[in-house]
Chains A and B, each alone.
Chain A
């Protein structure tokens, strides 16, 4: 659990600091204050061990950071800071859920075995996903390419296809329930 305990607060604070800094650079103090409030709420929950609401707080925080990052891009805040915020929020959100799972549930008489191995593997895959995502998104933010209508159409069809496949998978999963 050492890795989680180390990475989780760091990534969380990084996410909100990046958002706050981005908005501060764009002279939008209201959003900076909002991000400070976000950090304060999460820190209170974390330090006081509000286990029942920790994942809820993490969910809310992740959604808030992503939404604020979208707004930040729109108002021309530094895009790289917004991307850092989203990736850090994603890691923090994931680690909060992992932490909850690895703590077990005494009420349900559940124990956790080989927690270190689970954590190590999880963090490795998480950092891989975050690194790839950050790299590709960073590339997308910096590289500008003009596409013809044909390419645009093909990419649109591909996106629609991927979306429909995903939706079908989700529906299948719900039917299996």
Chain B
């Protein structure tokens, strides 16, 4: 197509020609000849069929927040020589260029290649590189051809993980392998569990002399509580309605969801480090799940899923009613991560009623929003009343959950999660076993 420069030249030549015709002056018409020759030469050199190929290489497929990532883009010309080519890469809005150039203006001979190298970094998220924009000029910048070459690549920026001490959980059912979680079953272990009649083969040090002394002719042995691993299911609330954003929508803005994602990543790491089987379910505009698994590979799967997680809205998932309750093994530990909205307690109580051990890690949206500079500065009575009402409503909702045996961690996101969890769980230990079984 013709560029602005080409259109100006054509218009000027046409105007001069018409002026010459109108004035019946051949000299004026002759003045258009240099312009037309220039235009004609440009037309003859206009870019026609292009045979270009683009290949993109990203130094790593996944990385952590603020870690630099090198991107190399190579555009090769397999066709006719091109005199002026502008290659421009299209960066995702949330990626920040820290080194190099995303555009290059160069000639490309037949078989030549133009290479673009740059370093970017960005916040958590999945960045899909799609196309590179190539503009080929005729040489006089009168005609140009612009195409989008496919050069796909995916970069996932994983959330930051905060190291935490082992989190004390006591799900009703554990798995068969040894681990750190009390299994509510007697056997070999460390903590005292119960006493039973002495059996042949019991070690002498297991005999409970006090109980034996109180009973004639019978000897009692201590039984210890078995420690095993457990199934842990993480549910991340990614509903748009439950997210709170402060500051600008992009750039320096902060989102409560980001804190939830970081919390989910840290919890997954802590549970996997203890040898548990951990699964993840992201509940937002749809349901994304990572099936339960063990070890470092599972950690990577979960972090990748959390890296891609984004808030979204869908009418079906507006409330927690569509939570797939059978995704996690029966009587396992479920950890719900998200701000608890007014409609949520009903479903969470239902989960508890189904026999799951439930822990709610709830980033506090009221404190989060109250910490925003715009509100911090505001001292109006309306804001203060609104804050008090919201706090009361939240306290009431969390209290409802605590009453049915849900462990609730009310997390002010300005404090470190690990400390808050341990402090909260120390105050409300998981209900002791009512289903204790002797071997």
Residues of A at the B interface (CB closer than 8 Å) are 59, 62-63, 66, 69-70, 73-74, 79, 82-83, 86-87, 90, 94, 97-98, 101-102, 104-105, 108-114, 117-118, 121-122, 125-126, 128-130, 132-134, 136-137, 140-141, 163, 166, 169-170, 172-174, 176-177
A86 to B28, CA, bound (A): 11
Determine the chain B residues whose CB is within 8 A of the CB of A86 once the complex forms.
31, 34-35
Determine the chain A residues whose CB is within 8 A of the CB of B100 once the complex forms.
109
Contact segment of B4-12, B306-314, B331-339:
B4-12
Minimal beta-carbon separation of A119 from chain B (angstroms): 10
Whether A121 contacts B139 by the Cβ 8 Å rule is: yes
Whether A74 contacts B84 by the Cβ 8 Å rule is: no
A177 to B1, CA, bound (A): 8
Please give me the residue from chain A that is nearest to B19 by CB atom: A70
Minimal beta-carbon separation of B223 from chain A (angstroms): 70
Minimal beta-carbon separation of B5 from chain A (angstroms): 6
A130 to B36, CA, bound (A): 10
Whether A128 contacts B41 by the Cβ 8 Å rule is: yes
Question: Interface size class for chain B?
Answer: 35 or more
Dominant SS among interface residues on chain A: helix
Whether B34 contacts A90 by the Cβ 8 Å rule is: yes
Whether B139 contacts A122 by the Cβ 8 Å rule is: yes
Whether B37 contacts A133 by the Cβ 8 Å rule is: yes
A117 to B12, CA, bound (A): 30
Determine the chain A residues whose CB is within 8 A of the CB of B14 once the complex forms.
163
Return the contact of B30 from the options A83, A112, A174 (Cβ within 8 A).
A83
Minimal beta-carbon separation of B119 from chain A (angstroms): 11
Chain B 8-24: CB-based contact to A (< 8 A → 1; otherwise 0): 10101010100110010
Whether B141 contacts A101 by the Cβ 8 Å rule is: yes
Please give me the residue from chain B that is nearest to A177 by CB atom: B1
Whether A109 contacts B97 by the Cβ 8 Å rule is: yes
B88 lies within 8 A of chain A by Cβ: yes
Whether A66 contacts B31 by the Cβ 8 Å rule is: yes
**Contacts known (A125-B140, A130-B34, A173-B2); A74 close to B102, Cβ less than 8 A:** no
Whether A141 contacts B30 by the Cβ 8 Å rule is: yes
A137 to B16, CA, bound (A): 14
Please give me the residue from chain B that is nearest to A82 by CB atom: B31
**Contacts known (A111-B101, A134-B34, A170-B2); A125 close to B139, Cβ less than 8 A:** yes
Residue with the greatest number of chain A CB neighbours at <10 A, chosen from B23, B88, B100, B105: B105
**Contacts known (A66-B16, A105-B103); A125 close to B1, Cβ less than 8 A:** no
B295 lies within 8 A of chain A by Cβ: no
Minimal beta-carbon separation of A74 from chain B (angstroms): 6
Minimal beta-carbon separation of B21 from chain A (angstroms): 10
Nearest 4 A-B pairs (CB), nearest first? Answer: A173-B1, A133-B34, A110-B103, A133-B37
